[in-house]
Chains A and B, each alone.
Chain A
Amino acid sequence: MSNGTALCRMLSTSGILGYGFPEASLDLGMTRGVHMLGVDGGSTDPGPHYLGSGKTLNSHRAMRRDLRLMLRAARRHGVPMVIGTCGGAGGTRIWPPPPTSCGRWPPRTGSDFRMATIEAEQDVASLKRAHADGRMARLPGGPAPDPAALDRSARVVAMMGPEPIAAALDGGAEVVLAGRSSDPAPWAAMAMRAGLPPAPAWYAGKMLECGATPAVPKGHDCLVVEVGPDGVTLEPAAPERRCTPSSVANHSLHENPSPCIHIEPGGILDTTECRFDAISDRAVRVSGMTWSPQPYTVKLEGAELAGYRAISVCGTRDPLLIATLDDFLARVRDAVATKAAALGVEPDGYRLIIRRYGVDGVMGASEPRRDARPHEVGFVIEVVAPDQDSADAVLALARVTMLHTDFPGRLCREGNMAFPYSPSDVACGPVYRFSVFQTMTVDDPLAPFPIHYEDV
């Protein structure tokens, strides 16, 4: 450390709360003089359903297990615990997990502490005022900012930077449950509060947000990062894992549009000039990152209801059908349209999607090998309609039409499809889609994120 003595050591338990981690790794990692531990609670990565519905990706049972061990470690070592993006998508009413399914929250640890919860769910009226004030901006690939999309959304969250988390820690919180947060924010907040510059603080957060992912072999496990004034040092907690210059450098590729330019609330982390030096066979020091402050923006994420879904899974092993698959499916679609109209569901009243695993189920229209014809093909028949009853009804028609539609040369006259399940049809419930994905300029990084304290 050339220009200061401040150090901050932080531990992350895994990529997402509820993924699990070895208890021994946590115990071992905490003996390194860790100043804070945390975990990221989620993101948009699993799709729009969790933001829209308020349900969690991981089970409450798995989240409760991780929280119990983490809280015990934090209390035993007298260090703060911070969870970002609680509940999976970070909406306010999503967490803490409901007591009925989760047992007592917080779990009993035998010691009292102060807990802060930070809201990230946004009031649509205030967002519309910000829109009218010209504070919204489009993000690459995302929709143009639109007040109507705000109105349609089931839920809109703003992504907080480190400031609200730092404020909660300043307010005496020893446990911070933050709503939607920039993934690195919990750790960047702790390191900057320790007096460290933003560049290594943010870089540390970028590494910690995925647990031991920057190490090899990969696995859901704990990572310890030490932040100094000039850089960071990464070392996984479990002795069987190690960080190498290549494993750490390559983590900058993960889920980022650019490996070098990382746009965060209030600035840009630039890792173009980073150096990666092995300081042991398990630890890597990274230096050379820079931070340029920018006008303060927060990302907004919203999800809207897109309908209700029903699905059925089946497969064919008939080479005669597979040889005429496109024609067969076109006939199925036509027959379903006729039958659905007889039930009062017009063609524009539902969407029928037939996924063809073995042909183009994974890549869809982007599949370059369009002529491949395997010996068997799996199907997911999917219907999305404005209500569950219509989705269920049209799906039932589609399922039986797939089973019994004739095709030229057909020998399998008892049925075209093998169904693995009885019942064959599954009502999936509401379907959400991303409706808002944009940035909002704010004057005060704390303003959109109210902090509540509770002594427990």
Chain B
Amino acid sequence: MAAIRDIAKVCKSKNAGPFELTIDVVFETRAQYDAVAATGVLGPELIARLYNVAPADVLFTPYPAGLAFKATIPRAIPAGDLGDTDVYGCQQHAPLLDVDIPVNRWPTD
């Protein structure tokens, strides 16, 4: 097992327009990307659970060209609306950092 915080190159969130939030996890090498993809852990169900949205509302895109996984979800509160906590949406990534990826041998080359 390995936590995303220990194996990802990038883990970030940001607005995709004022009504959606997009979350990216990027890996360093193709072997690492493939190893994570093979576990099936990173997917719409995980994002739905972490962010309390319906799986059908998660646009999940594996992006091998960028060695990345992308998830886009609706914002609970639109950017800058009353009660919003994060106008740029750039500090909503933390729940992913502790997600364990069940890989036996982490490709380091």
Interface of A with B (CB < 8 Å)? Answer: 44-49, 139-142, 246, 249-250, 252-260, 271-272, 274, 276, 306-307, 351, 353, 355, 361-366, 368, 384, 431-434, 437
Q: What are the 9 A-B residue pairs with the smallest beta carbon separation, nearest first?
A: A47-B80, A141-B19, A249-B66, A257-B72, A364-B85, A47-B87, A259-B63, A141-B74, A257-B16
The listed residue (A141, A246, A361) touching B66 by CB distance below 8 A is: A246
A355:B85 contact, CB within 8 angstroms = yes
Across-interface contacts of B22 in A (CB, < 8 A): 253, 255-257
A365 CA / B77 CA spacing, docked (Å): 10
Contacts A47-B87, A256-B22, A274-B65: A434 and B52 contacting too (C-beta < 8 A)? no
Q: Does B100 make an interface contact (CB < 8 A)?
A: no
A139 CA / B79 CA spacing, docked (Å): 15
A140:B20 contact, CB within 8 angstroms = yes
Across-interface contacts of A255 in B (CB, < 8 A): 14-17, 22
Within 8 A of A (CB), among B1-49: 10, 14-20, 22, 24, 26
For residue A206, give the distance in angstroms from its CB to the closest CB of chain B.
14
Across-interface contacts of B52 in A (CB, < 8 A): 365-366
A272 CA / B61 CA spacing, docked (Å): 11
Q: Does B76 make an interface contact (CB < 8 A)?
A: yes
A260:B63 contact, CB within 8 angstroms = yes
B94:A253 contact, CB within 8 angstroms = no
A355 CA / B74 CA spacing, docked (Å): 22
A434:B80 contact, CB within 8 angstroms = yes
A276 CA / B92 CA spacing, docked (Å): 29
For residue A174, give the distance in angstroms from its CB to the closest CB of chain B.
33
The dominant DSSP class at the A interface is loop
A250:B80 contact, CB within 8 angstroms = no
B26:A250 contact, CB within 8 angstroms = yes
B80:A259 contact, CB within 8 angstroms = no
A252 CA / B10 CA spacing, docked (Å): 14
A274 CA / B66 CA spacing, docked (Å): 10
A48 CA / B78 CA spacing, docked (Å): 10
Other A-B pairs, 9, CB within 8 Å; known A47-B79, A250-B10, A259-B66: A48-B79, A140-B20, A140-B74, A249-B66, A258-B61, A362-B86, A365-B76, A434-B80, A434-B81
Across-interface contacts of B70 in A (CB, < 8 A): 253, 258-259
Across-interface contacts of B66 in A (CB, < 8 A): 246, 249-250, 252-253, 259
Q: Does B56 make an interface contact (CB < 8 A)?
A: no
Across-interface contacts of A142 in B (CB, < 8 A): 17, 19
Within 8 A of A (CB), among B82-100: 82-88, 91-92, 94-95
With a 10 A CB-CB cut-off, give which of A45, A249, A355, A361 has the most chain B CB atoms. A45
The listed residue (B77, B80, B94) touching A432 by CB distance below 8 A is: B80
Instruction: Name 30 interchain pairs, CB-CB below 8 A, sorted by A.
Output: A49-B80, A139-B17, A140-B74, A141-B20, A142-B17, A246-B66, A249-B63, A249-B68, A250-B66, A252-B63, A253-B26, A254-B14, A255-B14, A256-B22, A258-B70, A272-B65, A274-B65, A276-B65, A307-B82, A361-B85, A363-B85, A363-B86, A364-B85, A366-B92, A366-B95, A433-B78, A433-B80, A433-B81, A434-B18, A437-B18
Across-interface contacts of A260 in B (CB, < 8 A): 61, 63
Contacts A47-B80, A253-B66, A433-B78: A368 and B50 contacting too (C-beta < 8 A)? yes
A46:B87 contact, CB within 8 angstroms = yes
Q: Does B54 make an interface contact (CB < 8 A)?
A: no
A368:B61 contact, CB within 8 angstroms = no
Across-interface contacts of A274 in B (CB, < 8 A): 65
With a 10 A CB-CB cut-off, give which of B65, B77, B78 has the most chain A CB atoms. B65
Q: Which residue of B lies closest to A248 (CB)?
A: B66
Q: Which residue of B lies closest to A259 (CB)?
A: B63
Q: Which residue of A lies closest to B91 (CB)?
A: A362
A384 CA / B72 CA spacing, docked (Å): 30
B19:A259 contact, CB within 8 angstroms = no
Across-interface contacts of A47 in B (CB, < 8 A): 18, 79-80, 84, 87
A46 CA / B86 CA spacing, docked (Å): 10
B85:A362 contact, CB within 8 angstroms = yes
Across-interface contacts of A250 in B (CB, < 8 A): 10, 24, 26, 66, 68
For residue B31, give the distance in angstroms from its CB to the closest CB of chain A.
14
For residue A138, give the distance in angstroms from its CB to the closest CB of chain B.
10
A306:B81 contact, CB within 8 angstroms = yes
Contacts A253-B66, A254-B14, A306-B82: A437 and B88 contacting too (C-beta < 8 A)? no
B85:A139 contact, CB within 8 angstroms = no
B51:A366 contact, CB within 8 angstroms = yes
A365 CA / B22 CA spacing, docked (Å): 18
A433 CA / B82 CA spacing, docked (Å): 8
B76:A437 contact, CB within 8 angstroms = no
Q: Which residue of A lies closest to B67 (CB)?
A: A246
Q: Which residue of A lies closest to B12 (CB)?
A: A253
With a 10 A CB-CB cut-off, give which of A46, A139, A259, A355 has the most chain B CB atoms. A259
Across-interface contacts of B78 in A (CB, < 8 A): 433-434
Across-interface contacts of B63 in A (CB, < 8 A): 249, 252-253, 259-260
A255 CA / B26 CA spacing, docked (Å): 15
For residue B6, give the distance in angstroms from its CB to the closest CB of chain A.
19
For residue B89, give the distance in angstroms from its CB to the closest CB of chain A.
9
